Amino acid sequence: MAVVFTVSKVAIDDLTDLNAVVAGLAENTDELEGRYLIIGRSNSVDEQDSALGLDTYHIENERGSSCSGGIVSHAFEPGLLRLHLTSEAADVLELPVEAEFPLKLSRDEQRIVLISGEAADRSRR
């Protein structure tokens, strides 16, 4: 796995009016500089969403590159986020297929990331 950037700031927002959750992971605490990823997905999907391909993640980076889908798997560990991307998503986002993001976050921020990931996984089962 290749380290992409160290996450120093995280923001997670449950957009209930849009039925989605969005997570922003940033390299710098100054939101105008450095690398970032924004990952979003619907809290629930129906048959129409699935037919339209909207039953997956949407990923965007600081260069404005974006793709729908592309996350094969993810894992949160204390101090680390791992993403396994499809080769197509990795190409579009200019990331390695196996990407690691060390988390330089407070214990509370890491806990929020872990809880959010677990809750999102449960809501999709």
- The pTM assigned to this predicted structure is 0.79
Question: What does pLDDT average to in each consecutive run of 10 residues of the chain (125 residues)?
Answer: 88 84 86 85 79 80 92 87 94 95 83 58 45
Number of domains in the chain: 1
β pairing state of 98-102 and 2-3: parallel
d(CA 48, CA 39): 21
Could you tell me the residue range of the domain that residue 30 belongs to?
Answer: 2-123
